[in-house]
Amino acid sequence: MVITELLEKNAKLYPGEVALVEVNPASEPDPSLTWREFSLIESAAGGKYRREMTWKEFDIKANRFANLLLTRNIKKGDKVAILLMNCLEWLPIYFGVLKTGALAVPMNYRYTGEEIRYCADLAEADVLVFGEEFIDRVESVYEKLPKIKNFFYVGENTPAFADSYDRLVDYCSSIAPAVNLEEEDDAAIYFSSGTTGFPKAILHTHTSLINSCRTEQNHHSQSRDDVFLCIPPLYHTGAKMHWFGSLLSGSKAVILRGVRPDWILRAVSSEHCTIVWLLVPWAQDILDAIDRGDIHLEDYHLDQWRLMHVGAQPVPPSLIKRWKKMFPNHDYDTNYGLSESIGPGCVHLGVENIHKVGAIGVAGHLWTVEIVKPDGTPVEGEDVGELIVKGPGVMKCYYRNPEATAEILKDGWLYTGDMAKRDEDGFIYLVDRKKDVIITGGENLYPVQIEDFLRKHDKIKDCAVIGLPDDRLGEIAAAIIEIKPGMECTEDEINTFCQEMPRYKRPRRIIFAEVPRNPTGKIEKPKLREIYCGKRLVEAQTTK
């Protein structure tokens, strides 16, 4: 089975049921309007605040785009790049690409024009589908993309160098194209997060995609009664592969365009969401807004919300303890994964293991994991080593990069670059990225451990620990600390707080500044190193 068959099955079994909803809180009309006035304005505006799509409509739109691509001579093995913000059109376009046998190539919405050009060239893209937010960036590199013969624009006021997706797709057949697809066929190219420079192109087959559906549904038991709230960007494997559980179960999903705490809770309330995947900063923002009195839970209907899961980055145990105190009836779960392992799920905590908060879990459904020494042999006991994984979602290769592929794929195992350890019960704990380990005076420091400790401080909103060059010790640990809004903190307070840590683990520099994160919530440590490494650091100042 290939993943497009799941969409076609849902369209036949549940044709009139809602598959996708897009909610755009920034376009909400005046809340004082009556429902009738609201409906008239929404209708006239083309549904800018809330749009929805049934399973039948979803499948038809995917078929129409597939047939549009075929009229442009796009064939099996070609590549179609997708550069869109989260929207109702995103997934039908993605599935339309897959139905032609071409490869979907999702792109990060933060890419600069030059990064768009680089990734399009690397993936050998034949088509680019883009939205209004990217007109200037695409136009700036338009003449540097000679291989791309078709530019499709999603939205109003189509630029002169592109064709209108909205206008053309409605004229195409709604019948699925007769293209034979097999599980071993190439299906998609995703890009690494780019936190270490220009991204690598990660090639996945249909086997990866369909097994991601099975892993996700097994972990979170999605039924047709569930409603999944999707907030992270769909270009990333994390958001899409969590949604795959909804695809497999034929259940509704809500795409929320915004991350404000009140927007999230309103979406959960009004759309009756049962499963919400949050990144660490968003969960922290919700709890902080409740603590400040900006949000009153009694204003929302939240009883149906059964599962909150966090992923894409190490999860501070202190955050989950706060969450369970505020929402005691929520199941909690975390998933670990990489784009190279088709997103979340190769390691999985499980809702029944809340007593192991802080662990990323055990091997996920259909996966095998190991922790190894530099020579590839398993570590002993609770020793730290590199986490490696094996399963049906491992990438085929880094596209057009055999050297990098050979470094990370060995005998079917994917070497993650993450340092981890197992406890006596077999649960895996992330220690840090292999490349982020700080060696100070011969001692290995794992920044994640220090960050987890610092986040217990009541005034700290976020923090990141990096190594700074030091003539005597080689490196020292520096903590970049972001204080909660409205609070003040001093370096002395942080140093006093850190007295509970072993001396060698204590940060030797305290820097009060914003902690940058990428769209999937990962700390952008290369950016911090670029700012602070090799530069003379002034004495830390108290925050405003």
pLDDT 10s digits, 64-78? 999 999 999 999 999
On whether both 315 and 355 belong to a single domain, the answer is yes
CATH code assigned at 487: 3.30.300.30
User: Is residue 540 included in any domain, yes or no?
Assistant: no
CATH code assigned at 336: 2.30.38.10
Q: Does the pLDDT of residue 20 top 90, yes or no?
A: yes
User: Is residue 268 included in any domain, yes or no?
Assistant: no
Q: Which of 385, 418, 433 is the last residue of a domain?
A: 433
On whether both 422 and 449 belong to a single domain, the answer is no
**Each residue's pLDDT tens digit, 129-155:** 999 999 999 999 999 999 999 999 999
Q: Are 462 and 474 a contacting pair, CB within 8 Å?
A: no
Instruction: Report DSSP letters for 307-369, one per residue.
Output: EEEEESS---HHHHHHHHHH-TT-EEEEEEEEGGGTEEEEEE--GGGGGGBTB-BEEPTT-EE
**Each residue's pLDDT tens digit, 349-373:** 999 998 998 899 999 999 999 999 9
Q: Could you give the number of structural domains in the chain?
A: 3
Q: How far apart are CA 399 and CA 408, in angstroms?
A: 13
On whether both 238 and 223 belong to a single domain, the answer is yes
pTM of this prediction?
0.83
On whether both 110 and 233 belong to a single domain, the answer is yes
On whether both 60 and 197 belong to a single domain, the answer is yes
User: Is residue 264 included in any domain, yes or no?
Assistant: no
Q: What angle do CA 370, 372, 377 make, to 5 degrees?
A: 105
User: Is residue 291 included in any domain, yes or no?
Assistant: no
- pLDDT band per the 50, 70, 90 thresholds, residue 242: very high
On whether both 404 and 517 belong to a single domain, the answer is no
On whether both 394 and 498 belong to a single domain, the answer is no
**Each residue's pLDDT tens digit, 77-108:** 999 999 999 999 999 999 999 999 999 999 99
Tokens representing 97 are 């690409």
In order of 222, 251, 276, the CA distances from 272 in angstroms are: 14, 12, 11
Q: Which of 413, 433, 453 is the last residue of a domain?
A: 433
- pLDDT band per the 50, 70, 90 thresholds, residue 195: very low
CATH code assigned at 104: 3.40.50.12780
377 CB contacts (<8 Å, ≥6 apart)? none
On whether both 423 and 461 belong to a single domain, the answer is no
User: Is residue 253 included in any domain, yes or no?
Assistant: yes
Domain that holds residue 375: 306-433
On whether both 455 and 379 belong to a single domain, the answer is no
User: Is residue 539 included in any domain, yes or no?
Assistant: no
**Each residue's pLDDT tens digit, 338-349:** 899 998 889 999
**Each residue's pLDDT tens digit, 257-305:** 999 999 999 999 999 999 999 988 889 899 999 999 999 999 999 999 9
User: Is residue 289 included in any domain, yes or no?
Assistant: no
Q: How far apart are CA 492 and CA 455, in angstroms?
A: 16
User: Is residue 449 included in any domain, yes or no?
Assistant: yes
On whether both 142 and 9 belong to a single domain, the answer is yes
In the chain, the amino acid numbered 105 is: V
Query: Span 424-429, mean pLDDT?
Result: 95
Q: How far apart are CA 400 and CA 316, in angstroms?
A: 37
